[in-house]
Amino acid sequence: RYAPVTLNDSPRYLHRGLMIDTARHYLSVSEILRMIDSLVMNKFNKLHWHLVDAQSFPYDSPTEPTMINGAFVNHNKQLTYTQNDLGAVKEYAHARGVEVIIEVDVPGHAASWYWGKPEIAAC
């Protein structure tokens, strides 16, 4: 039978997101990609990526290569992200309708910068 019903299915909020904090808790690129798939399944459209903080600088910057010395407590360069990693994550997310917002805290959360650039440290 036909029932005169109208369904309106749209998100209440334009920004529906999740934040990950890889400055304190390393996630492999494959884990991040799986997380993006989960976001899509749950109609989320933003991934806020807290990339670096006072605790760690796990980003291998092509313009400041010494900054990676601040990667995690024991300066583990294997637990880092390259420019290609960031590009791959952003491209993967974009193809699925998810915007990646990368956060780099400065100037207040820059203690990890000391290991790569001690000359700019205030201590």
Query: For the stretch 46-71, what's the b/e string if a residue is b when 16 or more beta carbons lie within 10 angstroms of its beta carbon?
Result: bbebbbbbbbbbbbbbeeeeebbbbb
Confidence of residue 73 (pLDDT cuts 50, 70, 90): low
Give me the mean pLDDT over the 40-52 stretch: 95
Q: Which residue from 44, 50, 46 is spatially nearest to 25, judged by alpha carbons? A: 50
Question: Which strands, in side-by-side order, build the sheet including 46-52?
Answer: 17-21, 46-52, 99-104
Q: Evaluate if residue 69 carries a pLDDT over 90.
A: no
Q: Which residue from 63, 102, 67 is spatially nearest to 85, judged by alpha carbons? A: 102
